Amino acid sequence: DFYGATELGWVTLVNGEEMVERPRTVGRPIAGQNIRILDERGEVLKTGETGTVYVKNDQTMSGYLNDAEATDQTKRDGWMSVDDTGWLDEDGYLYLSGRKRDMAIVGGMNVYPMEIEECLAKHEFVLEVAVVGVADDELGERLIAVVVVRNRDAFNADTLIQHAREQLSAYKVPKRVEIVDQLPRNPTGKVLKQRLREQFASR
């Protein structure tokens, strides 16, 4: 497995043995690649702390053509981000936690849906899942799990919530479960989370 992007080139590499030893890692930087994790102020975060992934290398593009604003939003002092969030372990292995734009703020706590989605996907009835944050007067945002399930008649949403409670911190547990026939995706297969937010925000 590896981590990379059109804007960044090929950044990390991980082999099968490393994946067994370090589940969920996308590897360490290959030669010529440098990674650092920054917070919202642009400060470098410590080992194990989650923030925005920035990369610096000879392949990093100089910017987006005719879009200075997009370039400014993705570059910091020669380091570039493609909106991914994650953290580095003590040996420099990178772990991704999702897209920055997908992050929800629940009761003042940053929540990255990928961790919750991985948990819910282990439930026996769940085929596909997407977790999104929608506006909430008390919490700022509340979490909704949108799922495709094997058998609607047999599926009980309460068991999925309980499954989450047993494995996640309380603020990461979705407040509601919505069942759909399929998740909306773009032509490359990525889930359209903004569409889900709009669809379920008022319910």
Domains by residue range for the chain, with CATH: 2-99 (2.30.38.10), 103-200 (3.30.300.30)
pLDDT for 31 beyond 60: yes
Phi-psi label, residue 159: left if phi above 0, alpha if psi -120 to 50, beta otherwise: alpha
Contact 104, 98 (CB under 8 A): no
Measured CA to CA, the distance from residue 120 to residue 142 in angstroms comes to 16
pLDDT for 64 beyond 90: no
Contacts of 177 by beta carbon, 8 Å cutoff, 6+ apart: 144, 145, 146, 147, 157, 160, 161
Q: Indicate the residue type of 70.
A: A
> Where is pLDDT greater, at 158 or 63?
158
Mean pLDDT of 126-150: 96
Mean pLDDT of 12-18: 93
pLDDT for 73 beyond 70: no
Q: What would the two tokens of residue 134 be?
A: 């929608």
Nearest to 26 by CA among 14, 18, 34, 15: 14
Q: Given this model, what pLDDT does residue 70 score?
A: 45
Q: Given this model, what pLDDT does residue 57 score?
A: 85
pLDDT for 32 beyond 80: yes
